[in-house]
Amino acid sequence: MNKQRVLFLCTGNSCRSHMAEGWLRKLGGDDFEVFSAGSKPAGYVHPLAIEAMREVGIDISRQHSKSLEEFVGQPFDYVITVCDNARDACPSFPGAAHQLHWGFDDPAHASGTDDEKRRVFRRVRDEIQNRLRLFLVACNKPQEK
């Protein structure tokens, strides 16, 4: 069986796209080959994104920030932008069979105490999980627990 190839795009490739990549690897199992990239890569994965995902048993600490340029010319079943800036920077992606947009708040811009910032990361993490569960249902794919 061929794995479906999915690329998540955001601006910095430091939070949302990495969380989405981690979630789809977990929930989609072996049915997907998953990547993430940014239009202006930050060069790191945000520590609070790593922490938020670790809380739900997903380790994204080995992922790294990448430029979308690394993936131009590759075929993807889905290219999913997870922020408005990435959608604007990349209105169409060559090689994408389907291009989707899911707008999520950027938790990297959260302000307040460390606990307040963590709450924003957790909220966005959970919103991404919920959206991916709907995506898997739409794709008729069973979900891992």
- Residue 41, token pair as written in the block: 């890569």
15 is catalytic: no
Q: Which one from 7, 20, 83, 96 is the annotated catalytic residue? A: 83
Q: Which one from 6, 52, 82, 90 is the annotated catalytic residue? A: 90
Question: Which strands sit side by side in the sheet containing 32-38, from one edge to the other?
Answer: 32-38, 4-10, 76-81, 96-101
15 DSSP 8-state letter = S
Per the listing, tokens 């389907």 go with: 98
Greatest C-alpha distance within the chain: 47
83 is catalytic: yes
Q: Which one from 6, 9, 10, 48 is the annotated catalytic residue? A: 10
90 is catalytic: yes
Q: What is the H or E stretch that residue 134 is in?
A: helix 114-138
Q: What gap in Å lies between CA 101 and CA 17, rounded to an integer?
A: 12
- Residue 51, token pair as written in the block: 């922490």
List residues with catalytic annotation: 10, 83, 90
